Amino acid sequence: MVDSPVRVLHVTKSLTLGGTEKVMQLFVANLDPTQFEVAVFSPRDGERGQQIRALGIPTYINPDLLTVLDRFRPHIVHVHRAGWPEPELLIPMKRARTPIVVETNVFGRHDPSPSAAIIDRTLFVSRFCLDRYAATTGIPTNTSRYSFLYNPVDTDFFTTVARKDRDFSTPTAGRISRADPGKWSHLALEFLPMVVRDIPDFTYHIIGAIPEARAFVADHGLSNHVVFHDPVQTDVQISNFLDTVSLLAHANDTGESFGLVIAEAMACGLPVITHPCEGLKDNAQLELVEHMKTGLVARNAEEYANAVIFLLAHPETARRMGVAGQEKATRLYRAQTVTRQLETIYQDLLLRKGLLS
C-alpha cells in the first residue's frame, strides 16, 4: 500500500514556454494536494520552471532522472512526451521500479521499443490522436491501456478577464504561434491581400512571425496592415493580445494534435478560423473548431479570406460562435475538470495495481 498523499513526479524534457510544458504546469497546479504530493523533473530549466516553483511545487533540474527517482520515490511518474522512443526517459523508471508510469502522448506517435513496456496508461490529447493511433497501428485502443484526455486550459481565467464589450465588426484578426516554420502555413499569409482589398482598414496582429512572414508582408506592401508582436509568456499577456482582435486566424500545415491556442481563444469568446490538413497529419483543430458553430473551416486561401470577411461583416454571428466556443471550452477543457479526470485515472491505476485499499 502507498503512503498518503500519493507521490507523483511529472517529467518533461524542458521547462520552457512550449505547450507541452504548459499542460504539465496546469496539471501539477491543480492536482489535489490533500491526495497527491507533486514534483516536477526536467533536465532543462526555463521560464515554466520559475512559474512552477512560484506555486510552491518543487522542481528537480537534473540530467540524471534515476537519481531523482531514488530521492523522491514516486508512486506515479507521469511523463509528457512526443510518443516516439525515448529510452533515456523510460529506462530509469524501470531501474527504479516505479510502481506506475503514465504518459501524455502529445503527438500520438507509436513507441514499439522494449522500454515502452513499462507504461501503464497512454493518454492522447484528443480523440483524433487516439483514433489515428488505432487506425495506423492496429492496436486496440478500446481498453483501459489507452484513452484520450484533453489538455487542460485555464478557462476560469480567460472567461473572467476577456473583454465583454468586444465589437466583432472591428476589422482585426490575430495569430499566435512560436516563431517556428513548422507552426506556419501559406494560408496564414495568402489570405491577407484578398481581405485588404475588400476591407482597406483591416489589421492583422501576429505573435511568432518567421522571416518568411515578414518578407511576405514587405514584398506585398502590407506593412500598414500587419503588427508584429513580441512573444508572450503568461496568460495575462495572451488575454491582453486576444482582447485586441475580433477573431483568431489559425493556420499550421502540420496541424494540431490538440490546439492549445485555439482552445484559449475559444475560452476568450473568439470565433476561430482554421483549415484541414491532408492525409495522416494532425487534424484535432477540426475537433475544436466546428464549422459554423465555433468558427469556420477553410480549405484554401480564397475560402480563408472569405471566412475572415464573413465574420467581420456579420458580428452577431461571430459573437454567437464565440459564445458557443467559450461554452465548449469550459465544458471540455477547464483545467480543474480535466485534472479531476486525471486524478480518477491515477486512482484507478493504484487500485488495479493493488496499491490502494
User: Could you tell me if 209 and 230 are in contact, meaning their C-beta atoms sit under 8 angstroms apart?
Assistant: no
Q: Write the burial class of residue 335 (CB in 10 Å: 0-12 exposed, 13-18 middle, 19+ buried).
A: buried
Return d(Cα 130, Cα 146) in angstroms, integer: 8
Return d(Cα 29, Cα 23) in angstroms, integer: 10
Nearest to 87 by CA among 62, 61, 60, 66: 66
Q: Is the dihedral of CA 212, 217, 223, 229 positive or negative?
A: negative
Superfamily (CATH H level) for 6-152+334-352: Glycogen Phosphorylase B; (3.40.50.2000)
Note the pLDDT of residue 100: 98
Return d(Cα 22, Cα 35) in angstroms, integer: 22
**Other CB atoms within 10 Å distance of the CB of residue 98:** 19
Q: Which residues on adjacent β-strands are paired with residue 207?
A: 176, 229
What is the chain's pLDDT, residue by residue, as a tens digit (357 residues)? 777 899 999 999 999 999 999 999 999 999 999 999 999 999 999 999 999 999 999 999 999 999 999 999 999 999 999 999 999 999 999 999 999 999 999 999 999 999 999 999 999 999 999 999 999 999 999 889 999 999 999 999 999 999 999 999 999 999 999 999 999 999 999 999 999 999 999 999 999 999 999 999 999 999 999 999 999 989 999 999 999 999 999 999 999 999 999 999 999 999 999 999 998 999 999 999 999 999 999 999 999 999 999 999 999 999 999 999 999 999 999 999 999 999 999 999 999 999 987
Note the pLDDT of residue 356: 85
Please list, residue by residue across 118-140, b when 16 or more beta carbons sit within 10 angstroms of its beta carbon and e when fewer do: bbbbbbbbbebbbebbeeeeeee
Return d(Cα 76, Cα 41) in angstroms, integer: 13
Fold of 155-333: Rossmann fold (3.40.50)
In the chain, what are the domain boundaries?
6-152+334-352, 155-333
Note the pLDDT of residue 143: 84
What pTM did the predictor assign? 0.96
Mark out the alpha helices in the chain (DSSP H runs).
19-30, 47-54, 65-72, 87-95, 127-137, 155-161, 187-190, 192-198, 211-219, 235-242, 260-267, 285-288, 301-313, 315-333, 335-352
Note the pLDDT of residue 2: 76
- What would the DSSP string read from start to end of 257-286? SS-HHHHHHHHTT--EEE----TTS--THH
Confirm whether 6-152+334-352 and 155-333 share one CATH topology: yes
Return d(Cα 197, Cα 67) in angstroms, integer: 61
- Assign 81 to helix, strand or coil: strand
Note the pLDDT of residue 322: 98
Return d(Cα 253, Cα 244) in angstroms, integer: 25
- Assign 232 to helix, strand or coil: coil
